[in-house]
Amino acid sequence: MDDCLFCKIIKGEIPSSKVYEDEKTYVFMDIAADVDGHMLVIPKEHCVNFLDASKEALHAVAETVQKVSKHLIDDCGYEGVNVFNCTNACAGQSVFHYHMHIVPRKGGDGLPPVPSYTGAKEEIKAVFERVKM
């Protein structure tokens, strides 16, 4: 897609700190500079988000997330990773090209293990009845 920031990064039109690349995926450092080692994994095929991605793109991204995460733990001295995705603006997606975040972790790094939520507003049973398939 011509106006997509991540597609421009893949094409080399915008510089990035490339961590890894293969035929179907591209991994680069997140420029937000919010957490040391924060990187993004994107499919080379443009798709807006997780829900829009083809099965092939989802599979390729998952394999790359696993490969890079293993490298971080096995070769780079990290002890774990947080892996997450934000789908749609209300969930925090700011670039509309599907991507997964990898945040390398070490014990005692001072980061919260998971996002901190303020508490559910509805009873679990009511939500369950609405979302079950």
Active site (catalytic) residues: 99
Structure tokens at 4: 């997509």
Closest CA to 49 of 3, 85, 92, 87: 87
Closest CA to 53 of 96, 10, 6: 96
Amino acid in position 116: S
Q: Are 4 and 45 in contact (CB under 8 A)?
A: no
Give CA–CA dist 79/11, Å, rounded.
33
